[in-house]
Amino acid sequence: WYKQTISQFFGATTKLDSITSARVHLFQDYMTDREWANTTINYVGSILYGTMEDAFKRGQMVNEPTRMKSLTAENGRIRFLTEQEEGQVVDWFETHNHDDYRDLMLFYIETGFRKTEALELKWSDIDLTRKRITLWKTKSNSSRTINATPMVLEILSRLKLRQHNIPRHDQKVFGHIAGRHFGRTWVTMRTAIGLEDDNQFVVHALRHTCCTRLISAGTDLRTVMEWMGHSTLEITQRYSHFIPECMDDAAERLISLRVNQP
């Protein structure tokens, strides 16, 4: 979808050197005029710049590329899957014989891993005895370790059997899944279950789902921050409105103060 967005605006046969700074800024205006989320605009801009930067370093471009101005991310709606939606996705994957995609989807929900973090995960990163998974390369450049839930252990056990129970340590856990194919199938599934117009119903929403469920279950924000690998507590606090019980407790305290007044 991102590739199509860029190609449709500039033209699929357009030479990268003809994408001037002015055209890059026009592209940003084009997306802004369509009221796309700032985070989406920033992401599309990063893809365009990354492509052009790679071409420039390889000597395939004469002019140095222009980076699109970063827009401030909004604290808008956080899209996550309800239990009903999770069931719909599981049913669709199973009906269409995509058990591998079902397992990857559930793995994302249970771990909160980013898309590439799961796809790059190796068996050497997993300690099945201690039920722990360690990510060494992360977006924040700091490693983190989480405990594997029973569902995650079940998925890993199935994958281990599939790989003859003795996978190499350097072998990728989900090496049999191509990220692009999973993404395309996700879009097909989204349309099939009636959510084709919900552009926020993306694979990354699975990570949001894990975070919201951790918080809804009463996990303290500092622990959630470490589990998710957020760089700051402020990022985790965006999800704090998923703790309605805390607001109930606060209201009860205010009520008790008045009741106990002489």
Q: How far apart are CA 64 and CA 57, in angstroms?
A: 9
Burial (CB < 10 A; 0-12, 13-18, 19+), residue 173, is: buried
**Residue 35 contacts by C-beta under 8 Å, 6 or more apart in sequence?**
none
Q: Which of 12-21, 28-37, 193-202 is the least confident region?
A: 28-37
3-state secondary structure of 172: strand
pLDDT at position 262 is 59
pLDDT at position 165 is 67
pLDDT at position 234 is 83
Residues forming beta bridges with residue 63, ordered by sequence position: none
Tell me, what DSSP letter sits at residue 69? Answer: P
Q: How far apart are CA 91 and CA 94, in angstroms?
A: 5
Amino acid at the residue 1: W
* pLDDT (mean) for 17-24: 92
Residues forming beta bridges with residue 147, ordered by sequence position: 132
Q: How far apart are CA 113 and CA 78, in angstroms?
A: 16
Write the Ramachandran bin of 202: left for phi over 0, alpha for psi from -120 to 50, otherwise beta: beta
> Is residue 202 pLDDT above 70, yes or no?
yes
Question: Could you give phi then psi for residue 144, rounded to 5 degrees?
Answer: -150, 150
Axis-axis angle for helices 38-57, 21-33 (nearest 10): 160
Nearest to 16 by CA among 70, 61, 71, 69: 61
pLDDT at position 141 is 75
* pLDDT (mean) for 248-261: 68
Nearest to 171 by CA among 104, 101, 116, 124: 124
Nearest to 227 by CA among 145, 151, 116: 145
> Is residue 242 pLDDT above 80, yes or no?
no
Q: Which of 18-32, 105-119, 131-145 is the least confident region?
A: 131-145
- Alpha carbon separation from 208 to 53, 113, 150 (Å, rounded): 30, 10, 20
- Mean pLDDT in the chain? 88
Of residues 244 and 102, more confidently modeled: 102
3-state secondary structure of 48: helix
Please answer whether residues 115 and 208 qualify as being in contact, where contact means their C-beta atoms are separated by less than 8 angstroms.
Answer: no
In the chain, % of residues over pLDDT 70: 91
